[in-house]
Amino acid sequence: MKPGIHPAYGPVVYRDMATGDQFLTRSTETSTETVEWSDGATYPLVRVDMTAVSHPFWTGNTRVLDSAGQVEKFRRRFGERRT
């Protein structure tokens, strides 16, 4: 690898804003916010909207779209097609 062209790779804490869960990992992402971790060290804090902890696919809380209900609602609103 060429020296001086790669971003710094170090420990970062990610916080899931939906659940408040945090995890420590390594990343090239940076932040001006910091948080004190359980080991007593201070790490950059990156806030994210969704992680695997809160994502509907991984939690099993998927939305079920009522497509049949949507079709009926459309037909009530605009009527049947006339040929």
| Structure confidence by residue, pLDDT tens digits, 14-55 | 999 888 899 999 999 999 999 999 999 999 999 998 887 777
For residues 37 and 13, the answer to whether their CB atoms sit within 8 Å is yes
Q: Tell me the per-residue pLDDT of 36-45, one tens digit each, with 9 for 90 and over.
A: 999 999 999 9
- Give all strands (DSSP E) within the chain, no chain letters: 10-16, 22-27, 34-36, 42-48
Using a cut of 0.95, tell me whether the model's pTM lies above it. Answer: no
Rg of the Cα trace of the chain? 23
For residues 77 and 71, the answer to whether their CB atoms sit within 8 Å is no
Q: How many other C-beta atoms lie within 10 A of the C-beta of residue 72?
A: 11
